[in-house]
């Protein structure tokens, strides 16, 4: 387990190493030879004690209940192991996008946990994602830590218990679990399913005889990820705070730099896009050099604008498919952003960074830049873009944002699994997946999807939530223990 690996192996090794270095960094009178080195070693010692405290506080509570999930690379046991084997054929799994696939995958892990099974490794690639390989993806997720490698499972002989004892049952939503959408009640395994599995286990030769649970068709997304979600959030948080080795921990992909150098994107407003009216004129102007931003001292606002798969065109730009019910016009975002900025506490009214996540080019969002320059001129060096990014890296960055304005997309909604303190705003999308998610506020759209509808009461609630998020962010910087 992570807990035992860190507490019983890595921590003692670091303590012994630091002790040796400290002893070599002293003269005969015990005075330090290199004061700077002593200062660094003292800081390392404090950090390791904080890491130990955080791990003791959280994993000591969770290690017994979530022993399977917290285990690094469980060892194959051909005679006594109990495994969940998923048919890896693409047509036997949910065909939806990355967000839905992520929920589906975590739902499979959650069911495996409920049934005390270990998952045999399988590919959970979303159907429409072709921008990254499994190796690229694992740099960010490293879900394989909870898997038995399929190669290890395949090496078990055909007459082994796990190959001879096969329980076949398709994990379909309507025959796997009961869902609840009110309060905080988690999903429960259906009684007839549980009875069938219990009968199978009761008829095994011995109590500890191994077997394989095989699902040929797996189309299941659990309604509540609260139980398993806490594991992913804590592990991501600890790794993000550098309490795990960046090459071995979850979410070890590209980090958002502490000192971010913004670009003056207003320079990309072209003359043929400039809007004029009787009272206002926006002139084309020369770019300025923006000052760097400390991302730990500003409110990070992510805006997910879904474009690439909303309207698909062929090489002649003929529309070949569309999902217009998911479409939200660019005009909807600036009024909401202005409302959010005006809701910021006065000390941080100008301490924010807006990042737009989407596909396309800067010119596709000129109307947003024009409106921002008109209504929020001080945002000139407070706007950034992350366009056409790889799926996992985009998600990785969205999770770190303090506020996320989502669209009709499970992709941006799913960030709540890993960051419960993040304020999530957007249209209501699939109550099964939003169920149990903290700090989530629904925003309705008008008939033509050109603006968000938010009342004064909703604006007041948003302001209260923003204050909570900011206080939590500042308080978190003072402690290594997740709040």
* Other Cβ atoms closer than 10 A to 139: 17
Residue 453's beta-bridge partner residues? 444
CA 74 to chain centre: 24
The confidence score (pLDDT) of residue 446 equals: 86
Q: How far apart are CA 91 and CA 87, in angstroms?
A: 9
pLDDT band at 244 (very low <50, low <70, confident <90, very high): very low
Antiparallel, parallel or unpaired: β 319-322 and 311-313: antiparallel
Q: What is the mean pLDDT of residues 209-224?
A: 86
Residues 124-183: pLDDT tens digits? Answer: 655 445 666 666 666 666 666 678 888 889 999 999 999 999 999 999 888 898 877 666
Of 19-28, 120-129, 203-212, the poorest mean pLDDT is in 120-129
Q: Is residue 219 very low, low, confident or very high in pLDDT (cuts 50, 70, 90)?
A: confident
Which of left, alpha, beta for 388 (phi over 0: left; psi -120 to 50: alpha)?
left
How confident is the model over 74-109, as pLDDT tens digits?
789 999 999 999 998 878 887 777 777 878 888 888
- Mean model confidence pLDDT for the chain: 77
CB 345 within 8 Å of CB 467: yes
Tokens of 346: 């006065």
- What was the pLDDT predicted at 154? 93
**CA separation for the pair 433, 139 (Å, rounded):** 25
| Confidence band of 483 (pLDDT split at 50, 70, 90) | low
Q: What is the mean pLDDT of residues 383-401?
A: 85
CA dist 301 and 154 (Å) reads 46
Q: Which is more confident, 195 or 130?
A: 195
pLDDT bin (cut points 50, 70, 90) of residue 123 is low
Quick one: 197 exposed, middle or buried, by C-beta within 10 A (0-12, 13-18, 19+)?
Answer: middle
Contact call for residues 188 and 160 (beta carbons, < 8 A): no
Chain segment 252-311, per-residue pLDDT in tens: 344 555 678 888 888 878 755 544 444 544 445 577 888 888 888 899 999 999 876 666
User: How much is the pLDDT for 253?
Assistant: 40
| DSSP class of 321 | E
Report whether pLDDT(369) > 70: yes
* Helical segments of 317-385, H only: 333-342, 366-375
- Please give the CATH number for the structural domain made up of 259-476: 3.40.50.2000
Q: What is the mean pLDDT of residues 187-194?
A: 90
Q: Which residues contact 52 (CB under 8 A, 6 or more apart)?
A: 7, 11
Q: Measured between alpha carbons, how far is 158 from 216 in angstroms, rounded to an integer?
A: 19
Q: Are strands 440-442 and 423-426 parallel, antiparallel or unpaired?
A: parallel
Q: How far apart are CA 369 and CA 268, in angstroms?
A: 8
More confident residue, 468 or 72: 468
Distances (CA, A) of 58 to 54, 327, 396: 6, 41, 23
Lowest mean pLDDT among 23-27, 398-402, 465-469: 23-27
pLDDT value for 55: 55
| Three-state secondary structure call for residue 394 | helix
Work out whether the CA dihedral 147, 194, 189, 171 comes out positive or negative: positive
- Between 60-69, 255-264, 470-479, the lowest mean confidence (pLDDT) is in 60-69
Q: How many CB atoms lie within 10 A of CB 93?
A: 25
The rounded percent of the chain whose pLDDT value lies above 90 is 24
Residue 400's contacts (CB-CB under 8 Å, 6 or more residues apart) are 240, 256, 300, 419
pLDDT of residue 25: 72
Residue with tokens 């770190």: 400
> Please, which residues bridge with residue 215 across strands?
86
- Residue 128 burial (CB count, 10 A): 14
Give the distance from CA 78 to its chain's centroid: 34
Q: Which residues lie closer than 8 Å to 480 by C-beta, 6 or more apart?
A: 47, 50, 51, 53, 54, 241, 243
Kindly report whether the global pTM for this prediction surpasses the value 0.85: no
| CB neighbours of residue 375 within 10 Å | 14
pLDDT higher than 70, residue 448 = yes
- Sheet hosting strand 82-86, strand order edge to edge: 147-148, 118-120, 82-86, 211-215, 166-168
Exposed/middle/buried for 272, CB within 10 Å: 0-12, 13-18, 19+? exposed
Domain positions in the chain are 2-62, 82-230, 259-476
Q: Would you state the structure tokens that stand for residue 265, as one six-digit string?
A: 């994107």
Determine the pLDDT at residue 321.
Answer: 53
The pLDDT of residue 250 is: 34
Three-state SS annotation for 228-296? HHHHHHHHHHHHHCCCCCCCCCCCCCCCCCCEECCCCHHHHCCHHHCCECCCCECCCCCCCCCCCEEHH
Sign of CA pseudo-dihedral 309, 310, 315, 320: positive
CA–CA separation, 394 and 412 (whole Å): 10
Q: What percent of the chain has pLDDT over 70?
A: 65
Q: Which helix (H) or strand (E) holds 54?
A: helix 35-62
Token duo for residue 455: 């009342």
């Amino acid at each position: 387990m992570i807990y035992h690996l860190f507490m019983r192996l890595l921590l003692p090794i670091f303590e012994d190493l630091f002790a040796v270095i400290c002893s070599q960094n002293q003269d005969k009178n015990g005075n330090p030879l290199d004061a700077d080195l002593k200062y660094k070693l003292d800081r390392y010692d404090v950090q390791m004690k904080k890491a130990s405290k955080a791990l003791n506080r959280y994993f000591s509570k969770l290690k017994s209940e979530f022993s399977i999930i917290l285990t690094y690379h469980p060892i194959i046991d051909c005679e006594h192991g109990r495994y969940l084997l998923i048919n890896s054929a693409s047509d036997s799994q949910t065909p939806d996008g990355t967000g839905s696939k992520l929920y589906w995958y975590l739902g499979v892990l959650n069911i495996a946990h409920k049934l005390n099974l270990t998952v045999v490794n399988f590919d959970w690639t979303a159907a429409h994602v072709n921008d990254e390989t499994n190796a690229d993806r694992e740099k960010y997720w490293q879900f394989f830590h909870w898997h038995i490698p399929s190669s290890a499972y395949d090496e078990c002989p055909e007459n082994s218990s796990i190959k001879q004892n096969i329980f076949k049952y398709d994990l379909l939503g309507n025959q796997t679990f009961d869902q609840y959408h009110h309060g905080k009640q988690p999903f429960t395994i259906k009684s007839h399913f549980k009875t069938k599995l219990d009968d199978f286990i009761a008829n095994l030769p011995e109590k500890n005889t191994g077997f394989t649970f095989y699902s040929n068709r797996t189309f299941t997304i659990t309604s509540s990820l609260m139980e398993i979600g806490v594991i992913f959030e804590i592990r991501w948080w600890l790794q993000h705070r550098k309490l795990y080795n960046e090459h071995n921990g979850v979410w070890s992909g590209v980090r958002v730099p502490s000192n971010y150098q913004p670009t003056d994107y207003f320079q990309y407003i072209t003359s043929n896009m400039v809007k004029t009216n009787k009272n206002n004129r926006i002139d084309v102007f020369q770019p300025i050099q923006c000052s760097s931003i400390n991302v730990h001292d500003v409110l990070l606002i992510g805006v997910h604008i879904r474009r690439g798969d909303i309207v698909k065109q062929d090489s002649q730009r003929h529309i070949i498919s569309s999902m217009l019910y998911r479409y939200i016009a660019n005009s909807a975002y600036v009024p909401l952003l202005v409302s959010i900025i005006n809701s910021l506490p006065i000390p941080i009214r100008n301490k924010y960074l807006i990042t737009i996540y989407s596909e396309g080019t800067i010119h596709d969002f000129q109307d947003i830049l024009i409106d921002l320059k008109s209504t929020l001129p001080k945002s000139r060096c407070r706007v950034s873009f992350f366009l056409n990014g790889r799926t996992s890296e985009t998600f990785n960055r969205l999770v770190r944002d303090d506020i996320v304005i989502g669209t009709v997309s499970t992709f941006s909604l799913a960030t709540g699994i890993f960051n419960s303190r993040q304020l999530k705003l957007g249209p209501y999308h699939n109550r099964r997946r939003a169920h149990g998610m903290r700090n989530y506020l629904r925003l309705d759209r008008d008939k033509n999807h050109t603006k968000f509808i938010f009342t004064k009461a909703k604006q007041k609630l948003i302001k209260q939530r923003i204050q909570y998020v900011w206080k939590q962010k500042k308080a978190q910087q003072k402690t290594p223990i997740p709040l």
